[in-house]
Amino acid sequence: MGIILNRNYLNLNIIHISNMLTKEECIFGQQVSLEEGQYIEFKSFTTDKLTQKKISDKSLNYFEDYFLGFMNANFDQDSFLYMGVDDNGLIQGVPIERNTRDKIQKLLSSKLQQKFNRKINPEICSVNFLKVSECPEDYYIIEFVIGSHPKKEFFYTRKGSSTVYLRDGATNPKIQSDQLLKEIIRGRKVNRLTRESQELKDQIVNDKNNIDLRYQLIKILEELGDAKSIAGHYEKIIQIRTNKGIQDSENDSVRMQLAKSLERLENSEGALDVLETVQDKNNDDFKREKSKILSSLHKEQEAISILESIVENNPQDYLSITQMGLMYYKQQSWIESIRCFSKALKIEPRYRFAKYWKKSAYHQMLAKNGQC
């Protein structure tokens, strides 16, 4: 079938999955050479008095749990679920007729596309039926193969369920702790971003003056919270632009981008230092950014003064007026805060942000006066 197993895990020569259980091994009551672990699961179930429909339903229900566990944990190589083999590796087999085998094949494809919280390419999974010899009836081992796949920053679950199965060695535990799941996803995201950042760094080594590559890297470094590296790349961008004959005053936009990046990373002091290197300090964007940073440093009055100078030149600037309202809000100056939000809403009545904070300031004022 062409899918190759990892030799290190099985401690065997690299072999075809069709040879995982050889014809010689598929003998009723014989012990297989494989062992359960991170990538292999054995499952037996009593088939006495089970109809073919129940055998089909039961095998596919078992498949769901283990499929989810393998999909959420195993990415680097294929995983295998063997039904009709007990926990000790003894072959029992499943009495399964041809029509039932065909039914399982068909249902597997639709299940992959409809049963889970995300559609899954049917090609990632296959089912094989391995004939068990020395049995009075037609017994088979049902072999489900879950292929290797890219690591995702989410978990596969059944539709409408928050229960996550996550393969751990030879077990398939349920995880229902939101905090633990978030930590696992965060870890996966950090690993991905670290890998992507290294790939970009390698490209930059060979193309040092490529500004686009540096901006791509800066975006990833922001998610990783690496303020020092971000500053270094912005400085390099300014240097590259200067070497191309761009006037230093035209690099103000780059300095503004750096300041905003540092402010998003809560490095307000560093952001303020960068803003001081901007040459055009009369620009409204510069003033808004500086007022925002000053506010984060608990210097609301200085920030308000800057915004007032903007509004003086542009009385219709409802965004700056709203920002002033937020700063009065932080100072618990409820009346001034409400006035600013009301003024902004008079200019732009549909501005929901101002509506929300006006309502909040009003409730805070009533609570302070014991009227709420």
Q: By the 8 A CB rule, do 327 and 298 touch? A: no
- The arithmetic mean of pLDDT across residues 101-118, rounded, is 89
What percentage of residues in the chain have a pLDDT greater than 70? 92
pLDDT at 110 over 90: no
Collapsed DSSP state (helix, strand, coil) of residue 229 = helix
The DSSP symbol for 343 reads: H
pLDDT at 250 over 90: no
DSSP per position, 271-295 = HHHHHTT-S-TT-HHHHHHHHHHHH
Supply the pLDDT for residue 20: 63
DSSP per position, 100-115 = HHHHHHHHHHHHHHHS
Q: How far apart are CA 69 and CA 173, in angstroms?
A: 8
pLDDT at 215 over 90: yes
- The arithmetic mean of pLDDT across residues 276-288, rounded, is 89
Residue 312 amino acid letter? E
Supply the pLDDT for residue 3: 30
Q: Which residues contact 365 (CB under 8 A, 6 or more apart)?
A: 334, 335, 338
Domain 299-372 belongs in CATH node 1.10.287.3510: no
Q: By the 8 A CB rule, do 282 and 314 touch? A: no
Supply the pLDDT for residue 23: 64
Supply the pLDDT for residue 4: 30
Local confidence band at 7 (pLDDT 50, 70, 90 cut-offs): very low
pLDDT at 194 over 50: yes
Residue holding tokens 């494989």? 34
Supply the pLDDT for residue 111: 87
CB-side exposure of 261: number of CA atoms within 13 Å?
27
Rg (CA), the chain: 32
pLDDT tens digits, one per residue of 317-326: 999 999 999 9
Domain limits, the chain:
7-176, 177-255, 299-372
Supply the pLDDT for residue 8: 32
CA distances 188 to 154, 161, 195, 201, 279, Å, are 9, 22, 11, 20, 42
Q: By the 8 A CB rule, do 141 and 91 touch? A: yes
In this structure, of 16-20, 139-143, 310-314, 333-337, the range with the lowest mean pLDDT score is 16-20
Give 177-255's CATH code, choosing from 1.10.20, 1.20.140, 1.25.40, 1.10.260: 1.25.40
Supply the pLDDT for residue 160: 86
Question: How would you class 324 by CB atoms within 10 Å of its CB: exposed for 0-12, middle for 13-18, buried for 19 or more?
Answer: buried
Classify 22 in phi/psi space as left (phi over 0), alpha (psi -120 to 50) or beta.
beta
pLDDT at 10 over 70: no
Average pLDDT, the chain: 85
- The arithmetic mean of pLDDT across residues 188-204, rounded, is 91
Q: Which of 5, 166, 150, 192 has its CA nearest to residue 73?
A: 166
pLDDT at 109 over 50: yes
Domain 7-176: CATH architecture, name and number where available: 2-Layer Sandwich (3.30)
pLDDT tens digits, one per residue of 302-355: 999 999 999 999 999 999 999 999 999 999 999 999 999 999 999 999 999 999
Local confidence band at 21 (pLDDT 50, 70, 90 cut-offs): low
Supply the pLDDT for residue 177: 63
Q: How many C-beta atoms lie closer than 10 Å to residue 359's C-beta?
A: 12
Q: By the 8 A CB rule, do 218 and 261 touch? A: yes
Question: How would you class 121 by CB atoms within 10 Å of its CB: exposed for 0-12, middle for 13-18, buried for 19 or more?
Answer: exposed
The DSSP symbol for 84 reads: T
- The arithmetic mean of pLDDT across residues 152-173, rounded, is 85
> 83 phi and psi, to 5 degrees?
-100, 130
Supply the pLDDT for residue 321: 96
Q: Are strands 94-95 and 164-165 parallel, antiparallel or unpaired?
A: unpaired
Q: By the 8 A CB rule, do 164 and 175 touch? A: yes
CA angle 100, 105, 106 (to 5 degrees): 95
User: Quick check: do 177-255 and 299-372 share a fold?
Assistant: yes
